[in-house]
Amino acid sequence: MKIAVIGCGTVGSGFLELLDEKQALLKDKYNFTPGLVAISDPKVGSIYHEGGLNIKKILSLIENRDNINDYPYGEKGWDSLKTIKDSNADTIVEASPTNIETGEPGLTHIRTALEMGKNVATTNKGPIALAYHKLHDIALRQGCELRFEGTVIAGTPAINLTIYPLAGIKIKEVKGIVNGTTNYILTRMESGMSYEEALREAQQKGYAETIPDADVKGWDAVAKIIIIANVLMGGNVTVGDVERKGIDNITLDEVQQALKDNKHWKLIARAGKENGSIKASVTPEVLGEDDPLSRITGVTNAICFTTDVLRDITISGPGAGRRETGFALLSDLIDINRVKGGK
């Protein structure tokens, strides 16, 4: 497998770290020897070498100089599309910034790669939330793989769990805590902090952005529940269809009042059937103690799938983090290698 990384920010470099560290394990356990041939990123720069790149050297350049322009050999300056089209990579790791309104630039990256029969592993929510069915059809037609574990709760394998080990199940309903930032804020409010204080702390810890709207107003959770609804439940949900309410109007009083009754405020993403089609929502809810999601605290995320044969299957784990999300890409590549004829 020859890999090009399109978008090499925190997640892309987290992925490269793991690809480097896990080399021996991948070879021993899966007979899998992936090589990196290209990186293209508007900030850290672009480099292509058909014979392969030294990952340690790349990571050290990113860490020490914030760019890879001094890499000693290879073609420099290729943009993302040229890298996808003209490099000898057979597999594209797409980790460019997400845009939930247009899906770009990721959508064009992914479509271009798939049309050329190149496998794609992505952590980019926008393209999958907006265009999963179309992209899936291209991959099927071209005989290549489209993977996106990292679009929903980082490397916690909620997506691949459902598509592969749970193949054959029917998912009737989904209910989840799919945003780490808001869950962290709500958890801190239970320990007595105001919303503003908790948000500030989340920002200091790097969980929340300076403009925190994508998280606290529920947009990030909306993208994730759309992916769940469309990919795992066969829905056709668009952003405008999702009832959305953030956590930014929940008061410390409300959180503390609930706590007195052993109840917990959580930002809950839901998908289920309603009048024959799949409906999705993201709204704060007060959960009783008996609800398994009520005990999910901090940046941990969890998704409960209500199924036909197995009733409730719940998976929980980290919902964010550069290595945690980078791992999703690595696990996607291992499975691509497996179905494409590896061990």
Active site amino acids: 224
CB closer to its own copies out of 10 and 67: 10
- Selected from 72, 168, 240, 276, the binder of its own copies by CB under 8 A is 168
Stretch that binds its own copies, among 5-13, 20-28, 184-192, 272-280 (CB under 8 A): 20-28
Distance CA 88, CA 320 (A): 31
> Do 130 and 99 contact (CB within 8 A), yes or no?
no
- Selected from 26, 36, 84, 237, the binder of its own copies by CB under 8 A is 26
Number of residues that bind its own copies (CB under 8 A): 42
> Any contact of residue 156 with its own copies (CB under 8 A)?
yes
Distance CA 233, CA 213 (A): 27
Least distance in angstroms from the C-beta of 65 to its own copies: 26
> Any contact of residue 167 with its own copies (CB under 8 A)?
yes
- Selected from 165, 192, 206, 288, the binder of its own copies by CB under 8 A is 165
CB closer to its own copies out of 253 and 310: 310
- Selected from 2, 30, 116, 200, the binder of its own copies by CB under 8 A is 30
Distances (CA, A) of 131 to 108, 245, 325: 11, 24, 21
Least distance in angstroms from the C-beta of 126 to its own copies: 23
CB closer to its own copies out of 26 and 223: 26
> Any contact of residue 330 with its own copies (CB under 8 A)?
yes
- Selected from 100, 166, 193, 252, the binder of its own copies by CB under 8 A is 166
Least distance in angstroms from the C-beta of 120 to its own copies: 17
CB closer to its own copies out of 7 and 321: 321
Distances (CA, A) of 256 to 5, 25, 242: 46, 48, 28
Residue linked to tokens 């990256």? 109
Q: Show Cβ contacts of residue 200 under 8 Å, excluding neighbours closer than 6 positions.
A: none
Least distance in angstroms from the C-beta of 82 to its own copies: 30
DSSP state of 276: T
Distance CA 75, CA 238 (A): 40
> Do 101 and 222 contact (CB within 8 A), yes or no?
no
> Any contact of residue 133 with its own copies (CB under 8 A)?
no
Distances (CA, A) of 261 to 70, 255, 258: 60, 10, 5
> Any contact of residue 169 with its own copies (CB under 8 A)?
yes
> Do 100 and 129 contact (CB within 8 A), yes or no?
yes
- Selected from 22, 136, 200, 244, the binder of its own copies by CB under 8 A is 22
Tokens linked to 245: 């309410």
Segment 283 to 302, residues that bind its own copies, using CB under 8 A: 292, 295, 300
> Any contact of residue 143 with its own copies (CB under 8 A)?
no
> Any contact of residue 18 with its own copies (CB under 8 A)?
yes
Least distance in angstroms from the C-beta of 152 to its own copies: 12
CB closer to its own copies out of 77 and 192: 192
Beta strands in the chain (DSSP E): 2-6, 35-41, 45-48, 75-76, 91-94, 119-122, 146-147, 171-177, 243-244, 264-274, 277-287, 300-307, 312-318
Distance CA 307, CA 172 (A): 5
Distance CA 186, CA 142 (A): 45
Return residues touching its own copies (CB under 8 A).
Answer: 18, 22, 25-26, 29-30, 149, 154-157, 160-161, 164-170, 292, 295, 300, 309-318, 323-324, 327, 330-331, 334-335, 338-339
